[in-house]
Chains A and B, each alone.
Chain A
Amino acid sequence: MTTRPVHGRRFAVGGLVTVLDLGKPGHVRIPYYVRGATGEVVQYCGTYLNPEDLAIGHTSGPAIDLYRVAFDQRALWPDESHPPRDRLIIEIYDHWLAPAAPQPAEPKTESPA
Chain B
Amino acid sequence: MSASHDHDHDHRHDDHEALVVEDDAGNLEGQIVIDALQSVLIARGLLTAPEVTREIQKLESPGIHLGARIVAKAWTDPDYKARLLENGKSAIEEIGIPVGEAQIVVVENTPTVHNLITCTLCSCYPRSILGQPPSWYISKAYRARTVREPRKVLAEFGTALAEDVDLIVHDSNADMRYLVLPEPPQDTGDRTPADLEPLVTRDRLIGVTR
| Chain A residues within CB distance 8 Å of chain B | 29-31, 33, 43, 45-46, 48, 51, 66, 68, 70, 73, 76-77, 80, 82-83, 85-93, 110, 112-113
A47 to chain B, nearest CB (A): 10
Nearest B residue to A77 via CB reads: B148
Question: For A93, what are the chain B residues with a Cβ–Cβ distance below 8 Å?
Answer: 174
Question: For A85, what are the chain B residues with a Cβ–Cβ distance below 8 Å?
Answer: 166
| Chain B residues within CB distance 8 Å of chain A | 85-86, 102-103, 105-108, 113, 115, 120-121, 147-151, 163-164, 166-176
Question: For B173, what are the chain A residues with a Cβ–Cβ distance below 8 Å?
Answer: 29-31, 90-91
Q: Report the Cα distance A86→B153, complex, angstroms.
A: 14
Question: For B166, what are the chain A residues with a Cβ–Cβ distance below 8 Å?
Answer: 83, 85-87
Q: Which of A68, A82, A113 contacts B86 (CB 8 A)?
A: A113
Given contacts A87-B169, A89-B168, contact A33 B107 (CB under 8 A): no
A50 to chain B, nearest CB (A): 10
Q: Report the Cα distance A66→B173, complex, angstroms.
A: 11
Given contacts A89-B169, A89-B170, contact A33 B120 (CB under 8 A): yes
Q: Pick 11 A–B contacts, CB within 8 A, sort by A.
A: A31-B173, A48-B175, A80-B148, A80-B149, A85-B166, A88-B171, A91-B173, A91-B174, A93-B174, A112-B113, A112-B115
